[in-house]
Structure formats: structure tokens, C-alpha cells
Amino acid sequence: MIWLEGVAVRYRAPEERLGTFKEYAIRRLQRRVRYQDFFALNDINLQVRRGEIFGIIGRNGAGKSTLLKVISRVLVPTRGRVYLGGQVSPLLELGAGFHPELTGRENVMLNGTLLGHPLRELEARMAEIVEFAELGNFIEAPLRTYSSGMAARLGFAVATAWQPEILLLDEILAVGDEAFQRKCQARMQSFRDAGTTTLMVSHDMAAVSALCTSAAWLAHGKIRLIGPSAKVIEDYRAG
């Protein structure tokens, strides 16, 4: 489960763009470094129960991605409290750390450990990952020989190789051709059926109303409305 209490994220950017250390030092000595505060998130209170599928909707720039970052621990909140009752698997960045010179297998190890999985777990799941990605012997070839579709399939396979406790989605993610996309959606569905707590950011209202029981409408960093997804979508469309 996920619990956010009074969470705020405040970015503090210098008014002037100080690209090099020399510029910064000069301005600092002149005491002319001024900062501008920007609250990407302000006073967020949110509770997602175990096994719930929760939607986050809002206009561009409302803070949806920032909210995902706070939950995936990329950002430490400026204020407030974030409680996570399980391991978070963000399905946000597939193929992070992929290196073109390493083989597919080596990249699975690198990407997998980046995502926090121990090596022996990766070795145990390797056959399954290769099978899901439909790569066959290509797994032993360097990544630079892969097409973008193959790399994407591999990234998806590694990221979804384990049943997640908490799943974060930024838009419904399905890669590859139609047949593979159906496999992706089937795997997502199996997670939902097994009771994975899911937090889904989406602009696709049809998907949100079909899949999510509850939803939150985020506007200018604040929660405008939380409730059953149908009601929230209706108000969002009207507002």
C-alpha cells in the first residue's frame, strides 16, 4: 500500500542560469544569487490500499510525473511523509543503463541490478526473460546489433520479470508489434489479478475508467479531487 501525508516537493532554481562553477562563485561573492521557489507538489494526501488500481489524471505540468518520482523514491519530499508498504517497481524507464557493447545477457544483468534485483535472482529468471522477449540466440549478441524493438522488448521483459508489490505506470506501456503488445497487456493483467497495488498515470480516460477503481485529479501540484474514477473523470472533463 501507498500512503502520502502532506507531501510537498519544492524546487529551488537560481534566477539566473549559472552553468559553470566560475559563474556561480562570482555571483556568490557578489551575493547576487537569488532563488526562485516552485512547488511541483503541495500538500498531497493520498492513500492507496493494497491491491487497488489507482489512477492519476491531470493536465500537462500538473505534477503527475513528480508524484511518481516521489513514490519511486527518486525524489525525497521537501515536506511530508511517504510510506511504501512494499517494493516499488516503476515501469517508467525500460532498458536503463543498456550498453551497446555488452551482450543482451550482460545487459539484463546490468539493467536488473540497477532495478535492485540480486544477481542470483536474475540468473534464475534469465531463461524466462529471454523467452518472453522472443530473442532466441540474439541474447548472446551485443546490444548494438539489436533493433529498437528488440531492445524495447528486452527492457520490458526484465522490468516485468517479477510480480511487483507496487507497480507504477506512466501511461499504459506496451512495446513491439501487435502480438507482443497483447503479451504485454496480458502480463499487466496477470499482475492486477494477483493483487499488485498499481498506480497509473494516464491521459487515456477510457483506460482509467475501465481499470481503476479510484482516481485522483492533480492540478498545479495539488489534488483537486479524489474518489471513484468515474466521478473524477467526469469532473476533470467538465473542469
Nearer CB in complex with another protein: 102/225: 102
Q: Which of 73, 186, 190, 203 binds another protein (CB under 8 A)?
A: 73
Where do the DSSP E strands lie in 49-150?
Answer: 53-57, 79-84, 88-90
124 contributes a contact to another protein by CB under 8 A = no
Count of all residues that appear for the chain in the document? 239
**Three-state DSSP state, 42:** strand
Residue selected from 27, 39, 43, 86 as contacting another protein according to rule CB under 8 A: 86
Residues 6+ apart with CB under 8 A from 10: 37, 38, 39, 40, 78, 79
Closer residue to another protein, CB minimum distance, 134 or 170: 170
Show the DSSP H helices in 115-199 as ranges: 119-133, 148-159, 178-193
Residue the block writes with cell 499488485: 196
Interaction of residue 82 with another protein, rule CB under 8 A: yes
Tell me, what DSSP letter sits at residue 142? B
Q: In angstroms, rounded to a whole number, what is the distance separating the alpha carbons of residues 203 and 170? A: 9
28 to 47, contacts with another protein by CB under 8 A? Answer: none
- Minimum distance from residue 61 beta carbon to another protein (Å): 14
Work out how close the CB of 5 gets to another protein at its nearest, in angstroms, rounded to a whole number: 9
109 binds another protein (CB under 8 A): yes
Kindly state whether residue 173 participates in binding another protein, applying the rule CB under 8 A: no
By the criterion CB under 8 A, which residues form the site for another protein? Answer: 3, 11-13, 19-22, 24, 50, 69, 72-77, 80-88, 90, 92-93, 96-97, 99, 101-102, 106, 109-110, 113-119, 142, 165
